[in-house]
Every structure is written in C-alpha cells, then in structure tokens.
C-alpha cells in the first residue's frame, strides 16, 4: 500500500510539474491591417536534373509588379547527379546602368555588338550575358546563341550539352509586395511580350525536361524556432513523365507571437494544396514544365 501511494504521489508531482513548465497558449483571431511591410519568402529548392544556367526564378504579384530573373537575393549552386555540390554557390549580378557606364568608360577599345538591341549608339555588349540582358530589356526573344559571337567565345553553346547532366540548388530569400502573387522555378529564358510572361526553352522542347524537385525549405516571413515544421519542408516530388507542371496553391495566415514578457514576433503560417499535369503538345494541356507557387494572404491574423 505504501508503494502504491508513492507511485500515485510521484505521478501527481510530475503532472503538476509538466503543467507548470508548459506555456499556456491562447489564440486570438482579428483583422490584419498590416499591409505596409514587404513579404519575405525564404526558399531552398533543388532540381536534380536541370543545369543552373537553364533555370530561372521569376515572381510577380497582383499589383502588377513583375520581377524577372530574381537573383540579387538568390544563390544558385551547381550539383552533380548524385546531389553533391560541384562548386561554390554563385550570386548572379544584375547589369545596372552604372555598370554599363563602367564598361563603356574602360580604356579597352572593344565595343561588342548588341545585335540590334542597344538602347543607344554608345551601348556595348562585350559578353554573352550583356546581349541577353539587352534583349531582356527590349522584351525581345533572343535567337540562336550559336549565331552570337560573344556566346561563341564563352562557349555558351557547349553548356547546352550539359543541361541534363547536372542539377541545381536555388536558395536564399526575396522580398515582394505584401499582396497575393506567385513565383516559379522553370527552365528557359524568361521575358514578357505584351505583358504576357513567357519562357524560351530553345533549342529544346518542353517535353525534354524532368521537373522532379526537392523542396528543402519554404517559409514566409521571419524564421522562428517554434518546434513547428513548415508544410512543404523536406518534400520530394518525382515527375513520372517529362513536361510536368507542378502547381502549389498556398494560403498564408499572418501570425503574431507574443511572449509573457510582452515582446512580440510577427511571421506567417501557411497551408498548401498541390496539383500537377502534363503540358506536352500531345496532352493538349496549356502551361509549361516547372514548379509554380501561387499564394494569397488571409485578411485575418492569428495572435
């Protein structure tokens, strides 16, 4: 009997201790009026069978702001087919007007042709990337890279042979307007024609691409260590056929954490639904291969 009493007392003490140490979480729901700050999107994404040079990350929002080739906060790391890094990650440079002026002011006599895409007579395109940027600014579709002298020198055409012999990790963060929008990771060069966003996958067809991918991490807002796992973290998706379009529909719920000491931290939770379809000519479905994320923000906030 004494032993039984000891067991009962011990269980009661442990139960009370657990209750004392466990925080009392109270949740409230109210209208979210915070539309001013930018929305931070954190991502770590792996495409195991498409070369980094042939993948682009683009984003746009419902307010009409469109970002092409987002790379100023995004890093790309080349991977072999086993998923191991080939080289250090690279942060792509954006060719600004300042940098163009620096190129023009160099003592070097060479001034490469922009192949009709120059904005003025003094603009030079000395690299393959310069020509691509000039065409992107003009919103023109670039032709065969083999016909561009700068690209020949940089052996850009040779890189196309390795498009499917490597993988790519794309990671980092980007800040967008705090409204609903979308972003996608897809093969090809992206540009806009008459306000329509398109991708040029030449010299390949859309059926050439295996869009299997691994979402190592995806979150919105400030990262916190709350013990909760984001819904898509660690998700591996295998495309059973080439030319597969994966669509993720995300509902973001703004969340405010308030500690007992009065300090607060604002971030976001989200739920997601995934769909996929084959977008080859034979299937008759519209779209293009890649991973497409559409998100909208809830008008309510959880506190």
Six-digit token string for 48:
């195991």
What pLDDT shows up at residue 146? Answer: 74
**Do the beta carbons of residue 197 and residue 66 sit within 8 Å?**
yes
Which of the listed residues 112, 131, 162 is the one where a domain comes to its end? 162
Residue labelled with tokens 């087919």: 81
**Domain identity same for 216 and 297:** yes
Specify the DSSP element, H or E, that contains 104. Answer: helix 97-104
Report the b/e string of 204-231 with b at 16+ CB within 10 A. eebbebbbbbbbbbbbbbeeeeeeeebe
**Domain identity same for 293 and 185:** yes
Which of the listed residues 143, 162, 181 is the one where a domain comes to its end? 162
**Domain identity same for 70 and 205:** yes
What pLDDT shows up at residue 57? Answer: 84
Six-digit token string for 285:
């479905």
Instruction: Kindly state whether residue 273 falls inside one of the protein's structural domains.
Output: yes
**Do the beta carbons of residue 301 and residue 30 sit within 8 Å?**
yes
Instruction: Kindly state whether residue 21 falls inside one of the protein's structural domains.
Output: no
Please compute Rg for the chain using Cα positions: 25
**Domain identity same for 256 and 230:** yes
β-bridge pairing 244-258 and 290-297: parallel
**Domain identity same for 155 and 183:** no
85: DSSP letter: B
Instruction: Kindly state whether residue 247 falls inside one of the protein's structural domains.
Output: yes
**Domain identity same for 145 and 208:** no
Specify the DSSP element, H or E, that contains 134. Answer: helix 128-138
Which of the listed residues 146, 162, 178 is the one where a domain comes to its end? 162
What pLDDT shows up at residue 212? Answer: 94
236: DSSP letter: E
- Per-residue pLDDT for the chain (303 aa), expressed as one digit of tens each? 677 777 888 888 888 777 766 666 667 777 777 766 788 899 999 999 998 888 888 888 775 556 554 445 888 999 998 989 988 877 654 333 333 334 334 434 478 889 989 999 889 998 888 998 999 898 888 887 778 887 776 665 566 667 888 999 999 888 888 888 889 898 876 655 555 555 655 555 656 788 999 999 999 988 776 666 789 999 999 998 888 999 999 999 988 877 777 777 778 889 999 999 988 655 556 778 899 999 999 888 887
- Domain limits for position 146: 93-162
**Domain identity same for 41 and 155:** no
β-bridge pairing 181-187 and 189-193: unpaired
What pLDDT shows up at residue 179? Answer: 83
Instruction: Kindly state whether residue 22 falls inside one of the protein's structural domains.
Output: no
**Domain identity same for 148 and 188:** no
252: DSSP letter: E
Instruction: Kindly state whether residue 18 falls inside one of the protein's structural domains.
Output: no
Instruction: Kindly state whether residue 20 falls inside one of the protein's structural domains.
Output: no
Instruction: Kindly state whether residue 289 falls inside one of the protein's structural domains.
Output: yes
**Domain identity same for 109 and 57:** no
This prediction's pTM? 0.68
Q: Count of domains in the chain? A: 2
**Domain identity same for 154 and 196:** no
What pLDDT shows up at residue 208? Answer: 73
What pLDDT shows up at residue 108? Answer: 44
**Domain identity same for 37 and 140:** no
Instruction: Kindly state whether residue 11 falls inside one of the protein's structural domains.
Output: no
CB atoms within 10 A of CB 233: 13
What pLDDT shows up at residue 197? Answer: 59
Residue labelled with tokens 């683009």: 58
**Domain identity same for 45 and 131:** no
Distance CA 170, CA 213 (A): 11
Residue labelled with tokens 């040779």: 158
Distance CA 283, CA 207 (A): 11
Distance CA 77, CA 58 (A): 17
């Amino acid at each position: 009997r004494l032993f039984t009493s000891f067991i009962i007392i011990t269980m009661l003490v442990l139960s009370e201790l657990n209750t004392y140490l466990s925080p009392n979480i109270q949740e409230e729901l109210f209208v979210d009026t915070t539309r001013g700050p930018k929305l931070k999107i954190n991502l770590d994404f792996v495409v195991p069978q498409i070369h980094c040079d042939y993948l682009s990350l683009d984003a746009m929002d419902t307010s009409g702001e469109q970002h092409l080739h987002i790379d100023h906060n995004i890093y790309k790391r080349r991977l072999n087919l086993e998923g191991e890094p080939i080289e250090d990650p690279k942060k792509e440079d954006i060719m600004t007007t300042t940098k163009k002026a620096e190129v023009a002011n160099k003592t070097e006599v060479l001034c490469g042709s922009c192949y009709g895409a120059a904005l003025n007579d003094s603009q030079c395109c000395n690299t393959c990337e310069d020509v691509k940027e000039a065409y992107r600014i003009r919103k023109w579709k670039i032709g065969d890279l083999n016909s561009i002298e700068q690209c020949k020198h940089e052996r850009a055409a040779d890189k196309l042979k390795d498009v499917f012999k490597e993988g790519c990790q794309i990671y980092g963060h980007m800040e967008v307007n705090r409204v609903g929008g979308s972003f996608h990771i897809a093969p090809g060069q992206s540009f806009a024609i008459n306000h329509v966003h398109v991708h040029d996958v030449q010299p390949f067809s859309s059926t050439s691409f295996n869009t299997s991918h691994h979402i190592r991490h995806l979150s919105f807002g400030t990262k916190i260590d709350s013990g909760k796992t984001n819904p898509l973290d660690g998700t591996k998706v295998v495309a059973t056929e080439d030319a597969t379009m994966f669509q993720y529909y995300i509902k973001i719920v703004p969340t405010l954490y308030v500690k007992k000491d009065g300090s607060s931290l604002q971030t976001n939770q989200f739920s997601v639904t995934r769909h996929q379809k084959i977008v080859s000519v034979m299937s008759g479905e519209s779209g293009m291969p890649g991973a497409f994320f559409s998100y909208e923000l809830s008008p309510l906030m959880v506190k």
